[in-house]
Copies of this chain bind each other. A is one copy, B any other.
Amino acid sequence: MFLPKRVLEEKIRKFLEEDIGQGDITTSLAVSSGTIVEAEVVAKEAGVVAGVEEAVTLLESLNLQAEALVADGSRIEEKTIIMKIVGDARTLLAAERTLLNLLTRMSGIATTTNRLINKVQDAGHKTRIACTRKVAPGLLYFDKRAVMLGGGDTHRLHMDDLVLIKDNHLAIIGNVADAVKKVRNAVSFSKKIEVEVTDVKEALVAAKAGADIVMFDNFSPQQVKEAVALLEREGFRSKVLIEASGRITERNILEYAATGVDVLSLGELTDSVKALDMSLEVVEVKRK
């Protein structure tokens, strides 16, 4: 998920424009034009940082000097200074909230993702932890990238990069086997096909019909275990990736990981984010 800075900047500038409205009236009246300050972004709790590249891109686009002291994806402690900034005070204060909103959201996502991954890996499982498309509207790139920086799998990036036949598709089409075959013939060779199934049998049908990935939706750990075993017995284990989704939480994630499933996906990683607390502090007024 690499974006050239100029492209990234456009996305972020729109957030800034929204937050400013017709202009920052406080700064305009309270801070003299030409004032130069030095400031720091400081973590107020420990976690995994994400959004540093985005923050630096925003600041540089505003002609502020930004020096990142920690890299995206790093683990940080409380009071870690994440970046130092020097430049025009009015501009910095006008951008402060947008900067922090992006950094604290992305870092919050990376922190939670990373904690779940560590939990699963510490228990000796190789299960991938993935997010879904349940992001904050308009923040697809940033939410997905934060998951990636936390060590997670981004899953599909929008609706054009993976065929994912879900419950509502099947409610219309009626038959898993037909649906998969119809799509298999028509879809580009460059795409994988995933099917969401609601019982063990359907999983086998989907695999036989040529699905690359099968997703067990709202299965209990026990059901997942049985489904994995069935696919193994029928010789599809090496041909088909298995994903489980729904009802998976930090509490039960090890039970799911122990089923031998390949991927666990959690909507909560991006739709129920806890921001990682940070603040921007002016540390020196260099010119008034």
Residues of A in contact with B (beta carbons under 8 Å apart) = 1-7, 10, 12-31, 35, 37, 39, 61-63, 89-91, 93-98, 100-102, 104-105, 108, 128, 130, 133-142, 144-145, 153-169, 171-173, 179, 182-183, 186-192, 194, 213, 241, 243, 262-263, 267-268, 271-275, 280-282, 285, 288
Which of B24, B159, B172, B190 has a CB less than 8 Å from the CB of A20?
A: B159
Contact B105 A155, beta carbon cutoff 8 Å:
no
In the bound complex, do residue B22 and residue A189 qualify as a contact, i.e. CB atoms below 8 Å apart? Answer: no
Q: Inside 8 A of A104's CB, which chain B residues have their CB?
A: 134, 271
Could you tell me the distance between the alpha carbons of A75 and B97 in the complex, rounded to whole angstroms? 32
Tell me the complex Cα distance, A13–B213, Å: 30
Given the known inter-chain contacts A133-B19, A153-B189, please indicate yes or no for A30 contacting B173, CB distance below 8 A: yes
Scoring A1, A62, A163 by chain B CB atoms within 10 A of each residue's CB, the highest score goes to A1
CB distance from A184 to the nearest CB of B (A): 9
| Across-interface contacts of A172 in B (CB, < 8 A) | 30-31, 35, 37, 89, 282, 285, 288
Task: Kindly report how many copies of this chain are found in the complex they form together.
Answer: 6
**CB–CB B10/A25 < 8 A:** no
A139 touches B141 (CB 8 A): no
Q: List 17 A-B contacts (CB under 8 A).
A: A5-B62, A18-B158, A19-B158, A21-B158, A23-B159, A23-B160, A24-B160, A25-B163, A29-B187, A30-B163, A130-B188, A137-B139, A153-B190, A189-B213, A189-B262, A271-B273, A271-B275
In the assembled complex, the CB of A35 is this many whole angstroms from the nearest CB of chain B, namely 6
A134 with B275: in contact, given A21-B160, A157-B22, A159-B23 (CB under 8 Å)?
Answer: yes
Chain B residue at minimum C-beta to C-beta distance from A23: B1
In the assembled complex, the Cα of A172 lies from the Cα of B188 at a distance in Å of 29
CA distance in complex: A194, B25 (Å)? 12
For A89, the chain B residues whose CB sits under 8 A away are 172
Q: For residue A159, which residues in chain B have a CB less than 8 angstroms away from its CB?
A: 19-21, 23-27, 94, 97
Are A155 and B93 closer than 8 Å at their CB atoms? no
A26's partner among B19, B94, B163 (CB-CB below 8 A) is B163
Neighbouring B residues of A271 by C-beta, 8 Å: 101, 104-105, 108, 273, 275
CA distance A96 to B182 in the complex (A): 22
**Nearest-neighbor residue (CB-CB) of A72 within chain B:** B33
> Which of the residues B140, B169, B186, B267 comes within 8 Å of A27, measured between beta carbons?
B169
